[in-house]
Structure 1
């Protein structure tokens, strides 16, 4: 029996991909101009960068509805 991937998982995965790709694109575009992260201490920069995809993934998973599971029954 093949199981469906729940919508929440699909949307969260897509958000993580888009956020990571977008963040890498922005960083590649400003690679010669590192002012984007300049205000942050070097030890905090990686953590701040990791927050962007994480927050967008959380938001997408939170917003997406659960996939109906009639096989689990009501209540």
Structure 2
């Protein structure tokens, strides 16, 4: 880092290492680091994102399940937080215990 500091000007170092400068840049609507085509290949969404997104949408807007029978809706709404936690826990990366 000291070598980099010695090769850059004071403004260049502030811009490169400290993030000081014009923000957002005039290229803010572009894919500057990873191209749009490469993003899904190199950064796939976690496997739990879709089910959790659906359950989150139901939590935010219970009318999404209004097509169900009225007697069933309260039970489904009560199970949504538990289902979200179960899916997120299942999909979370973890290390098994060595003594198990």
Shorter-chain TM-score: what band? Answer: 0.3 to 0.5
**Scaled by the length of structure 2, what TM-score is found?**
0.30
Find the structure with the greater CA-based Rg.
Answer: 2
